Amino acid sequence: MTGTRLHELGALEQAAAVRKGEVSPVDLVRHHLARVEQYDERFGAFVTRTAEAALSEAAALQEKGSAGEPSALFGVPTAVKDLVDTAGVRTTYGSRAFADHVPAVDAHSVTRMRAAGTISLGKTNTPEFGCCCYTDNDVVGPARNPWDPTLSAGGSSGGAAVAVALGLVPVAHASDGGGSIRIPASVCGLFGIKPSRGRVSSGPTGTDVTGLAVQGPLARSVRDAAALLDVLAGPEPGDPHWASPLPDGETFLGHADRSPGRLRIGRYATPVAEGVTVDPACRAAWDHAARLLEDLGHVVEDIPNPFGPEITDHFITTWSVQSLGHPLDAEREELLRPVTRAWREYGRGVSGARFAAAVTGMQHAARRAVGATQQYDVVLTPTLACLPQTIEHFDESGDPLVNLHRQSAFSAFTSPYNMTGQPAVSLPLYWTDDDRIPVGVSLVGRPADEATLIALSAQLEEACPWRDRYARLLAP
């Protein structure tokens, strides 16, 4: 640790330092809270900070000691996305309508993180109800890109991505219903895992009307993300979906240290939505990743987009109904932002028959797409069709439809894999020509096969390391 500041260490490195007695959980929490104090106001990572509770929890863990602790992340600071309930902590869902909401119970994911000995510093910024691919709300304002604060940090896990990229925490909880882990991972230069449907429980109070949304990790390294996925993963009684578990004795972190073998990889870079142009830098990142994969001995083949244009309407219909998951009276409905209200208004007009047809159509499209790519171990796509956009690009003061069209063009590649429920990751393997802005690429795995994605991602990280890129953000 000589010459290295605590926030420059990864999550697993911090936990190892705790186990060796080189640093205490209290030391880690104090250091990261100071970092939050220094950067949060400018970059908008947090909605609610829980400094006092974090220090108290760290002291209790310190007194308990790490001897015999099964978790690889014992004593590590983290944060929880503000869409997920945390008992006794203000949880706003990014909305003024819930500005004073304090849940009585923890989400299962929060319970698991606490049981693993991680220490939450607070709730990270998210757009209202997680409806958008950027992070801005009327509670604390926008999450700003750590590489360029004039740009959006993406969404809906934008606050979590900012916190990790700036070293406010080494690893963070996030969620993804249409790209909300992969989008901010791409624009903030992180590694993010959207797990398989049913890998992480949304209970006990979270809803899963459409099966689109999952919870997962954001981190600066593959191994750190895999370690947090080990903490989060596992079904709970009553869950509507269960992903097949790893064999006994295996962990996702263990797969980060395994060779993936020689894989057959399909790739495409044509969005299903008409009129969407892929930015040359996003396509260059995709080409760069394909060459890396071939250099590593994998077989890469061009394939057609396995989805048809009908999925756009299916997603819009199901997403609009899902946006109604927070019941509100008329007075509190008026507190919502224009795009949220537009989603909910559209959802209220969807009949039961139309909703059932959209869900059915989405499932049929998912089956066709998985069947069309079943001969491939992994599918490679751009994460996004556009480079990071300015905060103003997603302004909500005008026609909500203009905003929604801009979102659709920006995130054209992500939502199909929420429909299939397949695991997907975004990797920071490429930067713009001026070396200023990260451009992610996405790998999609077979259903319930995060293990192969993690092994392959770790291999790519070793071949094209990105850790030194963060020096610019972590140095100040």
Give the residue numbers marked as catalytic.
81, 156, 180
- Phi/psi class of residue 206: alpha, beta or left (left: φ > 0; alpha: ψ in -120 to 50)? beta
In DSSP terms, which residues pair with 267 in a beta bridge?
302, 380
Sign of CA dihedral 230, 232, 238, 242: negative
Q: Strand ranges (DSSP E) for 128-185?
A: 171-176
30/243 Cα distance (integer angstroms):
37
277/410 Cα distance (integer angstroms):
9
227/72 Cα distance (integer angstroms):
7
How many residues appear in the chain? 476
120/113 Cα distance (integer angstroms):
9
Cβ proximity of 384 and 282 under 8 Å = yes
H/E stretch holding 457: helix 450-463
H/E stretch holding 112: helix 108-115
H/E stretch holding 182: helix 182-188
Rg (CA), the chain: 21
- Tracing tokens 């299916």 back to the chain, one arrives at 314
214-219 and 299-302 as β-strands: parallel, antiparallel, unpaired? unpaired
Intra-chain end-to-end CA distance of the chain, in Å? 18
Query: Residue 329 carries which side chain, given as an amino acid letter?
Result: D
Cβ proximity of 366 and 421 under 8 Å = yes
**What are the residue ranges of helices labelled H in 303-446?**
310-322, 330-333, 338-348, 352-372, 400-410, 416-420
Q: What strands lie across the sheet with 378-382, from one edge to the other?
A: 171-176, 214-219, 191-194, 424-431, 438-445, 378-382, 264-267, 299-302
Provide the b/e sequence for 368-402 (b: ≥16 CB within 10 Å).
ebeebbeebbbbbbbbbbbbbbebeebebeeebee
180/192 Cα distance (integer angstroms):
10
Cβ proximity of 95 and 129 under 8 Å = yes
SS3 assignment, position 265:
strand
461/194 Cα distance (integer angstroms):
18
Tokens (6 digits) for 441: 């690429």
